[in-house]
Structure 1
Amino acid sequence: MRSEPEPITITGVNGRATAYEDHVNISRKSFGGLLFQGFKGEKEIFYSDLKGIEYKKPNLMLNGYIQFITNAELAKNQAVGWVGTTLDAAEDPNAIILRAFKKSNVRMYEKFHRYVMLKLQAAKQSKVQNINLSNASYSTADELQKLATLRDQGIISNEEFQQQKQKLLNQ
């Protein structure tokens, strides 16, 4: 029996993000989350729905952020700084503003970022494989249909049809 890996949680200025095997959960159940986001519920974003992840590592002088991009046109520009974090950045429903008060926080942010990037990459590869499988099965079925039409029209013999069919199915 395969067990699920432990989720990874990071806490930022405007909420908390937890990375699971197939999705990220964004929660605003914190003072900063309430202040910047209001009484919003939790949000789940599946890796397969992501267009990308933008990450800026925080340091002692500047805030950082992690932003989950589901639609490039709707993504807000993340202008973050020590005191210059914009309200737009803090109000982005798909972003968590990160502070580096402790080195352990930064290490956790880095671990979280690596994990979600691996999951995003795996989701994108899975999509490509599914498209390739779909195209391959469609083109094989399409070719078989064409061969059957040629056979039915008497252009090729049943023996030729069977030979070509076997070739296609063996590919």
Structure 2
Amino acid sequence: MEKEYIFKSKGKSFVKIKDDKISIIKKGIIYAVNQGFKGEKTLFIKDISAIQVKKSGLLIGYLQFSLKGGYESKGGVMDATKDENTILIGNKKDYLQALEIKEYVENFISNSSSTPSIKSLPEQIKEYKSLLDEGIITEDEYNVKKADLLSK
């Protein structure tokens, strides 16, 4: 997937998603004052541990990325304006874009984090025993595998 988003509240943020990366460019006075001119920042989606969308109401809303091993800003909107991993949102279009990004990131993480389960030693031996019982492997092959597993 490759898609670009423009957030236009209290400054301008450009967010580009390309496969496993999110690139963020911030422009405008509020970002310059609070964060300086930092250029483009790239986040690898696999490094994102949480994503939060706060809808704007009386105060401005935000889309915030938390990274594994990183500092998570917890001070609400005031900290969000200073956090380089946060994009400010102020209108319905921004909010809907933020929800779309959140959904993409969550789907990407859940689809790529399926790790194979590691079977216990007795489960592995039972698996080879059933292969022996079904005639798929010979008794010699079973004994070699069993001895190999027990020696680890």
TM-score by length of 2: 0.67
Pick from 75, 90, 95 the counterpart of residue 99 of structure 1: 90
Report the alpha carbon displacement of residue 63 of structure 1 after superposing the two structures with TM.
Answer: 1.0
Instruction: Answer with 88-97 or 8-17: which moved more.
Output: 8-17
1:52 aligned to 2:37? no
Provide the residue aligned with 1:11 in structure 2.
8
CA contact (8 A) 2:22 2:44 kept: yes
Output the CA distance in 2 between the equivalents of 1:162 and 1:114: 54
More helix by share: 1
More strand by share: 2
Output the CA distance in 1 between the equivalents of 2:33 and 2:138: 75
Report the alpha carbon displacement of residue 43 of structure 1 after superposing the two structures with TM.
Answer: 0.6
Secondary structure of 2:8's aligned partner: strand
Which amino acid counterpart does residue 75 of structure 1 have in structure 2?
E
CA contact (8 A) 2:61 2:88 kept: yes
Query: Could you say if the C-alpha distance between residues 17 and 67 of structure 1 is closer, same or farther in structure 2, counting changes exceeding 3 Å?
Result: farther
TM-score by length of 1: 0.61
Query: Could you say if the C-alpha distance between residues 9 and 71 of structure 1 is closer, same or farther in structure 2, counting changes exceeding 3 Å?
Result: same
Output the CA distance in 1 between the equivalents of 2:3 and 2:35: 27
1:115 aligned to 2:113? no
Report the alpha carbon displacement of residue 96 of structure 1 after superposing the two structures with TM.
Answer: 1.7
Secondary structure of 1:74's aligned partner: coil
Pick from 33, 38, 47 the counterpart of residue 35 of structure 1: 33
Report the alpha carbon displacement of residue 71 of structure 1 after superposing the two structures with TM.
Answer: 3.8
Report the alpha carbon displacement of residue 53 of structure 1 after superposing the two structures with TM.
Answer: 0.8
Query: Could you say if the C-alpha distance between residues 110 and 164 of structure 1 is closer, same or farther in structure 2, counting changes exceeding 3 Å?
Result: farther
- Cα deviation per residue 1:74-103 (whole Å; 9 max; x = unaligned)? 1112423xxxxx2x3311111122223xxx
Which amino acid counterpart does residue 57 of structure 1 have in structure 2?
K
1:75 aligned to 2:72? yes
Which amino acid counterpart does residue 48 of structure 1 have in structure 2?
K
CA contact (8 A) 2:8 2:89 kept: yes
Query: Could you say if the C-alpha distance between residues 162 and 73 of structure 1 is closer, same or farther in structure 2, counting changes exceeding 3 Å?
Result: same
Give the paired residue count. 132
- Cα deviation per residue 1:109-149 (whole Å; 9 max; x = unaligned)? 233223222222223223332x21xx46x98xxx59xx7xx
Q: CA RMSD in A?
A: 3.3
Secondary structure of 2:108's aligned partner: helix
Query: Could you say if the C-alpha distance between residues 12 and 90 of structure 1 is closer, same or farther in structure 2, counting changes exceeding 3 Å?
Result: same
Pick from 28, 40, 59 the counterpart of residue 62 of structure 1: 59
